[in-house]
Structure 1
């Protein structure tokens, strides 16, 4: 029996496993591409923003971050904190926390689906195994002396489905672990920005006085004379 004959004898569950494997590969490719874009190193931008904050204040640092247009979650958290810096450190921390939660949602999207595929695939393979063994026992019930060729159909269906389910499960499980580790590293960088930025704002200089603004005029001196006229 050739490999093509084995695939044909595997039954309809094999096509379900093949479709699941195609979806798993597609999801892995999409998430890997997204994490490669989001995982660009933001340390240079962070150091530059810290220096500008210490020298010119949060507004100048925000302009620097906006010009960089960095796609990483660390840059998003940095941008959110600097944008609310004029309302105080507490407001900046709340804005950064919201930005961090949004970034984590984008980082870990699709990983739970890969975990589900890793759990479902071997169950589908086990179901195919049971169906194949049932077909083999049906041969015994229909024939007193079944030939190896008659038994091979059910046995091949059982083994092929088992192998296919394990392959899909291993692929999904390994990819999920690798992508999650990559997402954790990116999220850690964003978390570091969230923890460091409040300290920058405390040490940031006060808002500068605009050039050209007229100084306040001194109050005129008023001489009070309490003596009566003579």
Structure 2
């Protein structure tokens, strides 16, 4: 993070130097033509294309996870009713069969307990805890891809800042008396890439944050439900 801050400061100083070296030679008044968003994007070069690619990937993942990461999918109400009945009857074989067919979060953690049904309540509880850790890791691993895109985006934007500076310095080297207009392409490349990278980072890191909190809330609720189902099966069958 310190390296990124230092590099950003160096880039800003570089732009100040570029503008100073240009001498602001243009004395004649030129009609200003406001660039469209498409015009600005065309100045970004290969880095801009990479930023669009990672943004599309991040958007697709966000939509997919928003659709799939719902409590009704992680712990279907009909499954809870079926498990409650089967566990009360200590029908572990049928319970395991239903869990294998469903494969939702709740089904997986209950299956982790039921496979140890003959070993007693403590072993079943231990099996459930192990399954909870494994399934929670899987869910959070999905969100980590969105966070990864959010972290990569500003670095790509910074790469675009550097390539834009290189473009501007090449103009200075090739031209005897470059004007600000001559250097504008490199400046646009730098600033537009930086803006795109920061925007993508803000969006995807925010999405990852809220999704992670949502997962924590849903898994906590479902863990409680699974624990209660397991406890009831023992309370109604104290011999275990």
Aligned to 1:6: 40
Rounded to whole Å, the distance in 1 between the matches of 2:96 and 2:167 is: 69
Alignment partner of 1:33 is 2:70: no
Unaligned 5+ segments in structure 2 are: 1-34
2:154 is aligned with 1:122: yes
Alignment correspondent of 1:136: 168
Taking the aligned partners of 2:78 and 2:38, their CA distance within structure 1 comes to: 55
Q: Secondary structure at the match of 1:145?
A: coil
RMSD (Å), alpha carbons: 3.2
In structure 1, C-alpha distance between the alignment counterparts of 2:194 and 2:143, rounded to whole Å: 24
Q: Does the C-alpha gap of structure 1 residues 60 and 125 become closer, same or farther in structure 2, counting only changes over 3 Å?
A: closer
1:166–1:114 Cα change, 3 Å: same
Tell me the TM-score normalized by structure 2. 0.70
Between Structure 1 and Structure 2, the one with more helix by share is 2
- What is the deviation of 1:92? 1.1
Does the residue aligned with 2:69 lie in a helix, a strand or coil?
A: helix
Within 5 Å, give how 1:159-174 maps onto structure 2. 159-174=191-206
| 1:89-135, Cα deviation, whole Å (9 max, x unpaired) | 12212321233233213322322222222111111101111221232
- Find the counterpart in structure 1 of residue 9 from structure 2: none
Distance across 2 between alignment mates of 1:48 and 1:172: 38
Structure-1 separation of matches of 2:94 and 2:133: 20
The answer to whether the Cα contact below 8 Å between 2:75 and 2:105 also exists between their aligned partners in 1 is no
The C-alpha deviation readout for 1:40-73, integer Å capped at 9, x for no partner, is: 555675477556655xx32189559939x66542
Take 1:49 and 1:61, find their aligned partners in 2: how far apart are those partners?
12
Larger radius of gyration: 1
